[in-house]
Amino acid sequence: MSVQGEFARLAREGERGALVTVVRSDGEPAVGTRVLVHAAGSVDGTFGDSSLDAAARAHAEELMWGTERSELRTESGVGLFVDVTAPSPRIFIFGAVDFALALCRTARVVGWRPYVIDPRSRFATRERFPEAEDVVAAWPAEAVEQLGGIDRATYIAILHHDPKLDDAALTVAFESDTPYIGAMGSRRAQAKRRERLMAAGIGADQLERVAAPIGLDIGALGSEETALSIMAEIVAVRNGHSGGRLADAKGRIHEAV
């Protein structure tokens, strides 16, 4: 199958990849030459120049895991169009609680795929979470394995208040490349959690990855507004923004597409 055909298959089946095409060149590689970069980093095809191949792979990985948008890039005078296909980002919600129901609904509204994880099978049911992509009644490590692991486009929200479940979910999250780990709880609960995890050998650098208390400070009341606060923080992190008021923003308000 050609790289174009394989890229079309990835897009059709909701998988991740990037097709890099030469659109401007004074010689070699010829305009129209393509390479396909897979989510795992492997590359199909070549531009006949190892440094240009490496640059194309770097651009592809940045875009397919970052903005998830197609862009025109220039490398050593060669114009490269990086065409990206990617599934909607995932949010793993640990804790089959009322806040999780609201967060599932909010995630769906903005086009994300929510998953609910909780070993308590009486709470973790599809009937309680109809908007969830899947509901897994298992301990965090087992559930994550069932769901194919945590990649760079999977975000973590820990909502239960049981220390055993919190710590198990955080341990799994720390072992992953997730760009966001948020955990619910009062400042007192957060301090106790930090003490437990440090006593268990978790380093300060890992603990600094946790957004706690979870969400943006919008004065949220109730589960729906709390879900909005959490989802807003996650979207801000994904887009590399702080989540402040646009009225106070400097420079461009919205990214150019």
Q: What is the pTM of this model?
A: 0.86
Q: Are residues 59 and 83 in contact, defined by beta-carbon separation less than 8 angstroms? A: no
The Cα–Cα gap between 154 and 113 comes to 9
Token pair 């780990």 is found at 181
Token pair, residue 253, equals 């308000």
Q: Which of 198, 226, 224, 195 is nearest to 213 (CA)?
A: 226
- Could you give the residue range(s) of every CATH 3.40.50.720 domain in the chain? 90-238
The Cα–Cα gap between 183 and 9 comes to 37
Q: Residue 131 to residues 108, 120, 169, 175: CA-CA distances in angstroms?
A: 7, 19, 22, 28
Tens digit of pLDDT per residue, the chain (257 long)? 689 999 999 999 999 999 999 999 988 899 999 999 999 999 999 999 999 999 999 999 999 998 788 999 999 899 999 999 999 999 999 999 999 999 999 999 999 999 999 999 999 999 999 999 999 999 999 999 999 999 999 999 999 888 899 999 999 999 999 999 999 988 888 888 888 989 888 888 899 999 988 999 989 889 999 999 999 999 999 988 888 777 777 666 555 44
Token pair, residue 251, equals 């420079």
CA neighbours closer than 13 Å in the CB half-sphere of residue 156:
29
B/e letters for 85-94, b = 16+ CB within 10 Å, e = fewer, are: bbeebbbbbb
CATH 3.40.50.720 fits 90-238, yes or no: yes
Largest CA distance in the chain: 65
Token pair, residue 142, equals 């087992």
